[in-house]
Amino acid sequence: MTTAEWAFQRFQRIIVEPYYYIQSVNTLQDWGDRFLDNYTGKTALSYSNTLHQFFEAIDDRELGAIGLRDIRSWLDELDCAHTTRVKHLNILKAFLGWVTEQDDSPIRRSPIGKRFTLAAPPDTLQERILSEEQVVALLDAAAPGRDRLMLRLMYEAGLRVSELCGLRWKHLKAGEISVYGKGGKSRRVGASPALWDLLNADRGAAGEPVFASRTGKALSPVDVHRVIKAATVAAGLPDEVSCHWLRHSIASHALNNGAAPQLVQQSLGHSSLATTTKYAHILPGQRLGDFVKV
């Protein structure tokens, strides 16, 4: 059963059986339905997806029969990013914690202890940072004009691919770019004089996309990924290089070339300075004494 089918079945039960919720609740899916009624929109959809996957994996057994080992095994077997596993774990914690608070709960405590966490994976951030020479090679390998300018802007401004695709000419004013990014947050990023001149060489109307296809529509993230993949192959860089590597790279290069962490944080839209400082790393031969005058 797919998530959509489960959601539809749940809707039918609520409509067809108006007295469903005053009847005794026994199955795991019943408890899931009750829990999901506390949420709406994207939150409900996300929670429903996690519960559906978990219930399918453990064969919809009774709540009292679920142990921490079942939850750990399911999380370990998921083919997804660590952040997604953490999200699933937090949703299960919320669900099982809610069940224990109900008067008719079949369990006294959640099988997931409050201190239970998932071990963080090895930090591979440094492996996704290009050297300055590699960035130059990548830009040179891109087709002259739109493609090369697009990659240069992503690098110099630290833009996410979605932010790049959302740019309109009205967002570029007086040497600054208004960026509307992740979580609905906005920020202003300054452009170097050289980059600003290139951007404004063929300026369009205020509402037009800065980077458009032949039909005049804004490029999609898929289009941009195709551009960077072609440039990656032409430059002889690792196949894993993606648009986001440029964002990682500018953060590292700026910090190691003396930029204030607060400037990098603001420019990239990091909510925490701790996120920004992860990009700073010790260069070969560096010593503390190099930064003081005695």
Residues 58-74 pLDDT 10s: 886 788 889 999 999 99
Which residue numbers in the chain have pLDDT < 50?
Answer: 16-24
- Asked if 178 contacts 190 with a C-beta cutoff of 8 angstroms, the reply is no
- Catalytic residue among 10, 88, 148, 247, which? 247
- Catalytic residue among 182, 203, 226, 281, which? 182
- Asked if 250 contacts 158 with a C-beta cutoff of 8 angstroms, the reply is yes
Q: Give residue 224's domain range.
A: 126-281
Active site residue 10: no
> Rounded to the nearest 5 degrees, what angle is found at the Cα of 116, between the Cα atoms of 113 and 121?
165
Same domain, 139 and 275: yes
Active site residue 47: no
Active site residue 244: yes
What pLDDT score does 43 carry? 92
CA dihedral 137, 141, 145, 149 (to 10 degrees): -40
Same domain, 130 and 264: yes
What pLDDT score does 283 carry? 63
Active site residue 270: yes
- 10 Å CB burial of residue 180 (0-12, 13-18, 19+) is middle
Same domain, 7 and 95: yes
What pLDDT score does 114 carry? 81
Same domain, 96 and 132: no
Active site residue 248: no
Q: Give dist(CA 167, CA 165) in Å, integer.
A: 6
Pairing of strands 172-173, 176-180: antiparallel
Q: Give dist(CA 225, CA 199) in Å, integer.
A: 20
- Catalytic residue among 160, 187, 248, 253, which? 160
What pLDDT score does 1 carry? 57
Please compute, for residue 185, the number of CA atoms within 13 A of its CA located in the half-sphere on the CB side.
11
Same domain, 176 and 82: no
- Catalytic residue among 34, 85, 244, 278, which? 244
Count of structural domains, the chain:
2
Helices (H), the chain: 3-16, 28-36, 41-57, 68-77, 82-100, 132-141, 146-157, 161-165, 193-199, 221-235, 243-256, 261-268, 273-277
From 82, 100, 118, the end of a domain falls on 100
What pLDDT score does 17 carry? 47
Same domain, 48 and 156: no
What pLDDT score does 190 carry? 92
- Asked if 176 contacts 191 with a C-beta cutoff of 8 angstroms, the reply is yes
What pLDDT score does 12 carry? 56
The verdict on residue 288 lying in a domain is no
- Asked if 54 contacts 63 with a C-beta cutoff of 8 angstroms, the reply is no
Active site residue 214: no
What are the structure tokens assigned to 107, written together?
A: 């369990």
- Catalytic residue among 88, 152, 248, 270, which? 270
